[in-house]
Every structure is written in C-alpha cells, then in structure tokens.
Structure 1
Amino acid sequence: MQPGRTTPGPTGPAGEPAASTPPPGTLPAVAAAAADDAGGVDPALLGDFLDAVWTAVLDRRRLPAHRTARYRAVGEQAAGAGVALRALLDLYLSAAWRLWRHLPPVAGAATGTDPGAVVDAGEVLLRASDDAVAALTEGYQLARRQLVRREESARREFVDDLLTGTSDAAGLVARAQRYGLDLAAPHTVTVVRADAAYTEGSALLATLERRLQGSTADADALVATKDGAIVVVSAAPDREAVREVLEQLRGVLGPPARTGWRAGVGRPGTGGGAVVQSYDQARRALDLARRLHWRDPVADTADLVVHEVLLRDRAAARDLVRTLLEPLREVRGGAEPYLHTVEAYLAAGGNATETARRLHLSVRAVTYRLTRLRDLTGADPTDAAGRFALQAAVLAARALGWPDDTET
C-alpha cells in the first residue's frame, strides 16, 4: 500500500462496509490490557492513539502529522511524571498488537472478501506504531534533557548557597534533605584540588559519589565542584566517618603523584553555618599545607591548629619571623637551607646524626649550620628554649610564605 492512496474501504464478514467506529468497550479494554502489560502505567497516556489507528486503517492512510505531534507532548508529559520510557513504549506497542485482532479487515478476514485489506491494515498499524514511538521518544528525551538541566541548575544553586551561607537557614535545611543531607547532624567539608581543574558531571565525580554512597561509613555525602575543586559535604558523627571518606577519596583519585591532588578537611559542625565554616577551614588548610610543604596529601584543620594560632595574629607572627630569622636572608645560599636544617633537626628529636642522614649531609655540616643558626639568630637549637623559639619562628615563616613573601 502506498500512503495517501485512495482505495475502497474494508468490508465486513458479509461483504458489508466495516463499522466506522469500534464496538462499545473494545478500545477501553485494549487500553486497560496494554496498561497491565506495561506494569500498570496510566492508560490515559494512550490519548487518542487507538481511535487514530482505527480510523487510519479504515482510510488506508498513515497517521496525519498533527496527530503524531500530539505524541511528542505525551512523551514530555510522561517524562515529567516520572514514567520510564521503556514502560511508555511498552504501553503503545502492547496496545497496537492487542488492537490488531479487532480491526475490521482482520476480523473479517475469515470471509476472504478482501485479503489485500489485511495486508494494508498491517502496514498502517506498523507505520502508525513506528511514528508514535518515534514521536514519544523524541518528546520524552527532550523533556528529560530539560529536566536534567533544571536539576543541575538547582543543584549548583544549592551548593553555592550551602557553601556561602547566602540562603535562609530554614529553607537551606529543607533543600538539603532533597540531596540526602541532614544538617541537624554533624557534617564536615573536604576540598580537593589537583593540577587540572575538576569539572561538574565528570565520570570521576560520579564514581566518587557512588563509592561514598556505598561505603560502610555513616556518611551521607554530597559531591560537587566549585572553583575547579571537588567539594565533599559528608556526615561526621565521629573521626572514623571522616577517615572513611578520605579512604574512598584516595581509592578513587589514586596516587597523589599522578594528578597532584591534595585535600583539606574542615572541622565538623551542625547546621548550615557550620558547613560554611568547615568549607572555609578546608580551603585554608589546603593553602597552609601548600606553604608548609606538607608531606601528607591530606591537610586536616585539626592537625594545623598550632599554625592557625600563629596566624591568628599575623602582625605578631611577622614580628617573630623578622626578629629571629631576618639575619638568615643575608647568608650565602639564602635562608632555605637553614630552615630545612631546623625542621629536620626538630623532626629527628634533636639528634644531629639522624638529621644528617635525613638531609644527606655530613654530621659536621649539620653541626656547622646549627652553630651558625645560634650565632645569627641568638637562639640555640640545642637548648630547649632555643628549640621552641626556632620552631615557632619556622612554623610562622612557612605559614606566612617567608622568605619569598616580601611583605613579611
């Protein structure tokens, strides 16, 4: 059959013209059975499909374009209602094959009056099903893309509000529940940066979120990106939960040497305000760890509390560095070798031999540097009071970026 061809209408069992309308109750019964086939989908989603197919078969024409366009709208409606695409298509295809036996040319096929009408009916039915399925799928996918974009926009807005504290507290708590966060319980924020910026929607973030959601830690987690960094907001009822999150991070991100990733961890707290504070602390921990040449890729605010105290009064910290360490600027080779020596000496528990081993120097070279430190700074690293003064000054210098920072 050629679509658009004008042919005599189908006939009934006695050669009489077939009924232009289906027997009462036929189409509702077909729709109900098809809905059961599709897992209980609302049969109203079929709209006028069965009537349209019935008419198209009698006219031996394909579905008109204006009818097909309606099914795009049905696809959008189903997507918005949360109906699975598979179930929607199953509804239409089941309705089509269930309608087949009721179509006049098929029902009258036993008389053999018009065998060609059965063939034409099959072609019309298949073509109508194909056109409807294509329109349904197009409308459904378009609606899903729009829905995903709206969800992504809402999620980004929530993350921004959560991390900046620009939303009202009550509204923020209610919105947080949508993303699996109970802000009435303690939460902490972990910020991860790497050599290359992380992007929202990457496979890495999806993997990390799946790992955190499937972990044994008591940690509902929100994984997002902000300013090129990964931000993880997770439940922190205890230190074990935080450690579990960090373990999952290590497992997904791999060795730090590969991508240069480093993480900062804020303190746990309850409420939206605590999340903002934890986020700020995590970022400061990352920055401080970079300046301190922190060996561990994870910088926990709790481990940097001494440095935070030193930086709480930056003027006093700068004065300490200038007073004690400024003479090292004039030494040949600069201050850095002496700072490294102090750090290694303190890490070795005041053992010059162990310090020499760690620095790959001779013991004589280490003792020479320690003597020069005493002469230049007035603080003796072999004396308890001198060690304390030097340690505080070196920690402050690292935290302030001295000697590279010319303002110090």
Structure 2
Amino acid sequence: MDVADLAARASRDASGVPPELLDGYLEDLAEVSTTGVQLGPDRLRARHDVGARAAAQGVSLRGLVDLYLGATRLAWPVLPGVRRAAGAEAVRVVGEAVFRAADIAVTALAEGYEEAQRWAVRREESFRREFVDDLLDGRNLAELAERAERFGLRLAGSTVVAAVRAAGPIVDGGDVSRRVETALHLRLGSRDVLVTTKDGLLVCVAPEAMGEAPDEFVRQVAAAMGSDAAWRVGLGRPHPGPGGAVRSFEQARHALDIAERLDLPGPLHKAADLLVYRVLLRDSAALADLVGAVLEPLRRARGGAGPLLDTLDAYFASGRVATACARDLHVGVRTVTYRLQRVRELTGHSADDPRQGFALQVAVLGAKLLGWPATALPSPGKHQA
C-alpha cells in the first residue's frame, strides 16, 4: 500500500487539504484491517490533536472530513486485511472493523476541531475584554492604537463614546448587545465602530468622523430595548488619540448621572450640553452651602420641602409662566401662586425677582444634583465628584 500516493490523491479530492493532516491514519486503518483491534486511546488522541491542528491552520471541518473519508475510500481496496480476506464473510468482518475505526477517528477529529474553535473564541473574547478595559480605563495607552486595529478600531483621530444605562445591567454577548452591534455594523457599513459593555453599561466607541454613529446607535438601542424599557444614553465629547476614548467615556457617564439626578427628558444626553451642571458639581461644598442657605427654610412648610421644591423646578422650567407650571404639575394656578408666596415668606427670595430668582433657580438645580432634601447635604469642606 503506497501511503504517500493515497494521501496525495485524497488531498486532491478534498480541494487541496494538506495530506499531512492524515498523520498516520492510513497506517492505522491497515493495522485494523489485519488485526480487527479498534483504535486505542493513544491513536484517538492523535486524531483529536490533528483536528485541533487543522482548526489552527484555518482548514474547514468539512474539508478535513472530506480528506479522511476520501482517504478511507481510496485505501479500502488495497488494505492488507481486505486483500487477504477469503470470501464475502471475511470481507464483511474486515469492513465492519475498518469503517468503525473510520467513524470513531472522524468523531475524534471533530471533537478536537470544535474544542480548538471554542478555545480560540474564549481566547479572543478574553483579548477583547482586556482591550476594552484598558481602552475605557485609560491603561497601557502606548499599546492601545496597535491593539485597536485587531478589533477594527482606529485611535489615531478623535474618538467619541456613547454609553447606555438601563434598569438592569447590560451584559457582553447578551441579546441587546448582540442585536445593537449587528444592526449598527450593517447600517453604517463599517467595522470602525466598537460596541461593548463596561460596568453594566452598553458602550459604543466610534470615530468622530462618523458623525452619524451616535444617532444610529440610539436608534438601534431603542429597537433592541423596546418601547417599555427605561434607558438613557450619555454622549461624551470627542477627544483625540488613544486616551480620547477614556475621557469621552467618563463624560458620557457623568452625563448619565446628571440626567438621572435631574430627571431630564428624552433618551440622549450630551456632555457638551450639560457642562454648566458639571461646573456646579465641581465645587459641591459651595453648592451645598447655597442649597442650605437658600432652601433649608422650606423644611418648615406643611408637607415638607418637596412640594415647594417641585413647584419651583416646574416654574423655572416653564419660563416662569404660572399657567404652564400649573398644567405641568396638574394643579390649579392658585396653588402655584400660593406655593410661590410661601417660598418667598420662608426663604426671603422671590422667584420673580431677577437676582433672587436666579439664586433660587441655581439652588433648586443644586438640590436636585445633591439629592436634597432626601439626602443630607455634604459636610463643609467635603467635596463630591
């Protein structure tokens, strides 16, 4: 039996799958055909290893199976056990042994191949997770640009990051993240956008040049989440270089925090539009002093500070129009004017006076940002990020 010739012919029939991947298989069949003894653990381990090697070389599983089945077919007439068999019964016995050996050999090949594929996927996921963590935590910046190319992301220009926060954490590989990633790549026709998760948030990292990416991301999140789900998107500002992503991501998270504290309407909240609130929070001790000095007397009102604080918030939001404020609060206009009068009596500040009204408005914003009155104000000298 010319093993090399048989392997070469089987390779040609299998569209050029390397004949080296047979790696002793034909010799195993020859031995089984004469002894009838099936392949032992060592020989099956060899097939398992060949399957893993084929996966690493990029050979398809179908091509590998074609190689082995073709080799079995070509070898059958010249196997020593077949040539020596006398009579139909002897040929049948040899055939059962040989084809059973072929069956378990191909099974071992497939197991090795699939195990290698699973390991490659897990390793790729691990590399991706490590890259995402470094990218959004700002670690190993010197290596990020080179590593980013592996995931289709270019960090040479400016990068913008959007982050979604939902009622529950969004997990990597979950239904929402998969649907958004697939749809976004199809819509944009580009792999330059990275969709991933971080700390329970769904995150989109895109080049600033792809100006349509954030809006398309929001549309796909809405489609994946459904109309009943509660979620918000924070959008950071674009920043250049490998460190730009972490800066934009932090801004997106701050935008989410501010939007939740102020209960801002709409799904998309841009960091560029919320800079004034970040300025207020930058000196939270001074902000707490203002809230305490201006609004603390509201606690003495019947029903506490809450209704009066809500009225002030709605009054300023409506452009200081009492009828619009009453409509938003679902109360009468007289209720609004009464509450505003109580605010003036308790605090000494009138919502309609330009200077006093400005102090009231900033204090109301500060109260919402600091969670007052439900949360105690920070102690003097204690800053809050």
Q: Structure 2 length normalisation: TM-score?
A: 0.89
SS at match of 2:188: coil
CA distance, structure 2, for counterparts of residue 58 and residue 107 of structure 1: 10
Matches for 1:179-328 after TM superposition, within 5 Å: 179-216=151-188, 220-237=192-209, 239-255=211-227, 257-258=228-229, 260-328=230-298
Which string of whole-angstrom CA distances, capped at 9 and with x for unpartnered residues, describes residues 318-348 of structure 1? 2222232222122122222222212222222
SS at match of 2:304: coil
Deviation, structure 1 residue 99: 2.5
For structure 2, list consecutive stretches of 5 or more residues without a partner in the other structure.
379-385
- The equivalent position to 2:68 in structure 1, one of 92, 98, 114, is 92
Q: Which moved more, 1:123-132 or 1:214-223?
A: 214-223
CA distance, structure 1, for counterparts of residue 133 and residue 256 of structure 2: 20
Match of 1:54 in 2: 30
Match of 1:359 in 2: 329
Match of 1:14 in 2: none
One-letter identity of the residue aligned with 2:25: F
Q: In the alignment, does 2:54 pair up with 1:82?
A: no
Identity %: 46
* 1:285 and 1:300 in contact (8 A); partners too: yes
Deviation, structure 1 residue 357: 1.3
Match of 1:147 in 2: 120
Match of 2:348 in 1: 378
Deviation, structure 1 residue 218: 5.9
Match of 1:17 in 2: none
CA distance, structure 2, for counterparts of residue 155 and residue 140 of structure 1: 22
CA distance, structure 2, for counterparts of residue 124 and residue 395 of structure 1: 83
Which string of whole-angstrom CA distances, capped at 9 and with x for unpartnered residues, describes residues 155-203 of structure 1? 2221221111121x23111111111111113222222233322333323
Match of 1:175 in 2: 147
Q: In the alignment, does 2:82 pair up with 1:120?
A: no
Match of 2:381 in 1: none
RMSD value over aligned CA atoms?
A: 2.4
Match of 2:49 in 1: 73
CA distance, structure 1, for counterparts of residue 301 and residue 295 of structure 2: 11
Deviation, structure 1 residue 238: 5.3
* 2:30 and 2:81 in contact (8 A); partners too: no
- Specify whether residues 357 and 270 from structure 1 end up closer, same or farther in structure 2 by C-alpha distance, changes over 3 A only: same
Match of 1:42 in 2: 18
One-letter identity of the residue aligned with 1:283: R
Q: Structure 1 length normalisation: TM-score?
A: 0.84
CA distance, structure 2, for counterparts of residue 158 and residue 226 of structure 1: 12
CA distance, structure 2, for counterparts of residue 146 and residue 277 of structure 1: 34
Deviation, structure 1 residue 122: 2.4
Which string of whole-angstrom CA distances, capped at 9 and with x for unpartnered residues, describes residues 229-263 of structure 1? 323323332543211111111111223x43x3333
One-letter identity of the residue aligned with 2:47: Y
CA distance, structure 2, for counterparts of residue 407 and residue 89 of structure 1: 71
Deviation, structure 1 residue 305: 1.5
CA distance, structure 1, for counterparts of residue 210 and residue 58 of structure 2: 38
One-letter identity of the residue aligned with 2:30: W
SS at match of 1:215: helix
* 1:208 and 1:249 in contact (8 A); partners too: yes
**How many aligned residue pairs are there?**
378
- Specify whether residues 238 and 105 from structure 1 end up closer, same or farther in structure 2 by C-alpha distance, changes over 3 A only: closer
- The equivalent position to 1:399 in structure 2, one of 369, 376, 379, is 369
> Whose Rg is larger?
1
* 2:152 and 2:191 in contact (8 A); partners too: no
- The equivalent position to 1:135 in structure 2, one of 88, 108, 125, is 108
Deviation, structure 1 residue 225: 2.6
Which string of whole-angstrom CA distances, capped at 9 and with x for unpartnered residues, describes residues 295-320 of structure 1? 32333212211211211222322222
Deviation, structure 1 residue 130: 0.6
- Specify whether residues 217 and 125 from structure 1 end up closer, same or farther in structure 2 by C-alpha distance, changes over 3 A only: closer
CA distance, structure 1, for counterparts of residue 64 and residue 129 of structure 2: 31
* 1:217 and 1:241 in contact (8 A); partners too: no
CA distance, structure 2, for counterparts of residue 117 and residue 227 of structure 1: 67
CA distance, structure 1, for counterparts of residue 236 and residue 11 of structure 2: 52
